[in-house]
Structures are given as C-alpha cells and as structure tokens.
Amino acid sequence: MAANPFLGVALHGVGAFSAASCYTPQKQTRLWSWEIYWVTTASFAWLILPIAGAFLTIPDYLGVLAACPKDAMLRSLALGVIYGVGGLTFGLGIRYIGFSLNYAIAIGISAGLGTLFPLIWDPNAGFVWTIGEKFSGTPGQIVLAGILISLGGIAICGLAGVLRERAGGGSPSRYSFRIGVPLAITAGALSAVFNFALLAGEPIADAARAAGASDLLKMNAIYPVSHGGAFITNFLWCAWLITRNRTGGEFLHLPRQGAGTLAFYYLMALASGAFWYFQFFFYGMGHNYMGTQYGFTSWALHMAMLILFSNVYGWLFREWEGVGTRPRRVLHVGMAVIVVATLIITYGNYLGES
C-alpha cells in the first residue's frame, strides 16, 4: 500500500475524535454505580466489538490465530493486561480533575513514552536502538521537532487545566487535584504500554495479511488479543467492586427512578464502547498510510489530536466557565501549538516517504 501521510493524519483525526468522545455518554448514566457502567462499557469496547470486528474484516480469523506465533499473542495479551490498569485509572481520573486536565496529563505522558520508547525497545525484537537512525536526516529531524512541539502543546493544555483548577470555575466539589493528578500520571505511563501491545501483535496482523486481509484492516486481527488483556484487568476490578458494594442488581434494574430507562443505560454503555473501539479501528487504517520510515509517529499524532478534541468536549461541558480569560487563553495557545505540531509531523512523514 502506498504511503499517504495526509490521509493517514485524517484517519487518525477520526480515531482521535472517537477516543475523545468515548467517555461522554457516562454523563447520562448517573443512576448506575461506576463499576456497573465501567464493566458494561468495557465488555463492548474490549471484548464484544473487537471480536466482532475481527470476524467481519479478517478472512478465516480462527485460522489466522492458529497460524500466528503463540508467544506474540501472549505478549500482546500480557501488555494489554498492563494497559488495562492504565485505562482503569484514566477513567477514575476524569472523576477527580475533569476531562481536560486528565487528558492533558495522561495523554502527554502516553504520547512521549509510547512514541519514543519503541525506538529503543521492541516487544518482539528486544533492544533495537533505532532512535538515532530515525532522527538523523532532515525528515527525521522535522518529525522529532514536531513530536517535541506536540508534547509542549500538551503541557500547555495541562497548564491551562491547572489554572482552571485554581480558579475553581465550573469545578464541582468532587474535583480533587491531589487525588486526580497521581491517577492521571499512572494512567499515562501505563496507557503507553498499549502501543507496545499493538507492536507485540504485529505477527498476528502479518498472519491476517497472509490469509487475505487487506493492509488497511489487518490490525483488526490484533485487537481481540490486545483489548482482551485490558478487559481482563477491568473485569476483575469491577467484579470486586460489585461484590463489595453489592451493586450487581443494577444490571437488571436501576436503583431509583430518574431520567432514562435501563435500556437507555445499556445503549449509552454501547455508545461509549463503540467510540473507544472505533478509535483503534481508524488508528489501524491511519497507521498503514503513515508509511514505514516514520510510521511510529502514529501514536504521537493520535494522542495530540485526542487532546484537541477532549478540550472541545471540556468546553462543551462548561468546565471552563467562570475561570476568567487567562486559563482559556493558555488553553487556546496549547491547542494551536498542537495543530502546528501535527502539520510539522505530517510534513516530515511526507518528506521521508517521498
């Protein structure tokens, strides 16, 4: 497949928008306990939809799994389990510091670690030390500049979130900087592991391609394994919470009368799960168009654009009301920097593939 970084970035944008949208339906399920909402959403996002997507887009998917190396499957699954802890703490972080700041901290850390560290260590090949090679020429230096600028833009968005927290505008009393920031840092470090889970699953994608899957959709073969690992972690945690809090009955009826019905709550969980799943459905397509030389920038692009769209949602949810002009101006600067960085990374990819 011929590289087309501009199309790749557009597809990453669709995936990033989907990722930023995946937690918004949670605001419509307030009568559900957190663990009921989370395990229901996780069932759709990390189990049902990845499996359905693989069987619908990968020819003879069971045969693909039988043909691919079992150690690659185990590595992808195990790394997915570790990422699951990151996904869990990410969801908790939103409760304490809101969409904007949680995304800025967690995604900033994930973008840096998930983009650069695979150039040093690969889950299938071990230590590879390709970081110097990738950034040696002019295209590589442009790409590196774009990555660093994007991390700076994410940091500026994080600063805007801190200013918003100090101003107290639009922040309910349940917000807690002291609790939420450690959760966001943990989420960022462990969420970066998901990129390693995808890299570990590349032999699965290769087996799918050999079985007749298209280059555009071959990464769908990885997701039941990598996402399945994330589901295991979250299912075990939620099962413990459900047992401790005795909330299992909420699967069958809402605890009290309010807006919406039980069917509506399941629909919202399905929407959340679909948004989360489709971020990587489009991520896989975008990644294939980024080319081989600088395809590793997919993670940085995805994370940076996710920050853009998450701050749009923060504005829609009125997290920035009553904070004065300074936090909003800082946020706008950060978002503008991310847009510039995305253009720079795209141009570097284009030069590298030309």
Return all residues near 28 (Cβ < 8 A) that are at least 6 apart.
259, 260, 264, 265, 268
Place of tokens 């990410």: 90
Distance CA 250, CA 183 (A): 27
- Are 286 and 298 in contact by the 8 Å Cβ rule? The answer is yes
Q: What is the pLDDT of residue 259?
A: 58
CA 290 from chain center: how many Å?
A: 18
53 vs 108, higher pLDDT: 53
pLDDT at residue 170, rounded to an integer: 47
Identify residue 8 by its one-letter amino acid code: G
Determine if residue 17 is left, alpha or beta; phi over 0 gives left, psi from -120 to 50 gives alpha, anything else beta: alpha
pTM of the model: 0.83
Q: Where are the alpha helices (DSSP H) in 290-324?
A: 298-316
Percentage of the residues of the chain whose pLDDT score is greater than 70: 95
Q: 272: Cβ–Cβ under 8 A, 6 or more apart, which residues? A: 22, 23, 24, 25, 26, 41, 44, 45
Number of domains making up the chain:
1
Mean pLDDT of the chain: 86
d(CA 346, CA 4): 10
Kindly report which listed range (163-177, 190-204, 276-290) carries the lowest average pLDDT score. Answer: 163-177
pLDDT at 199: 92
Amino acid identity for residue 80 in this structure: G
**What's the token pair of residue 138?**
């002019």
**Shortest CA distance to 90 belongs to which of 301, 272, 353?**
272
Q: Is the pLDDT of residue 127 over 80?
A: yes
pLDDT at 237: 92
pLDDT tens-digit map of 160-176: 877 876 776 544 445 67
What confidence tens digit (pLDDT) does each residue in 5-15 have? 889 999 999 99
pLDDT (mean) for 222-238: 94
* 61's tokens: 């998917």
- Strands 126-127 vs 121-122: parallel, antiparallel or unpaired: antiparallel
C-alpha 218/C-alpha 210 separation (Å) is 10
Instruction: Note the pLDDT of residue 258.
Output: 59
What are the tens digits of pLDDT across the range 66-105?
Answer: 999 899 999 999 999 999 888 788 877 877 777 667 777 8
Residue 322 domain boundaries:
5-353
How much is the pLDDT for 260? 66
Q: Are 182 and 101 in contact (CB under 8 A)?
A: no
Q: Kindly tell me if the per-residue pLDDT of 210 is higher than 60.
A: yes
How many residues are there in the chain? 354
- Residue from 199, 217, 188 nearest 86 by CA: 188
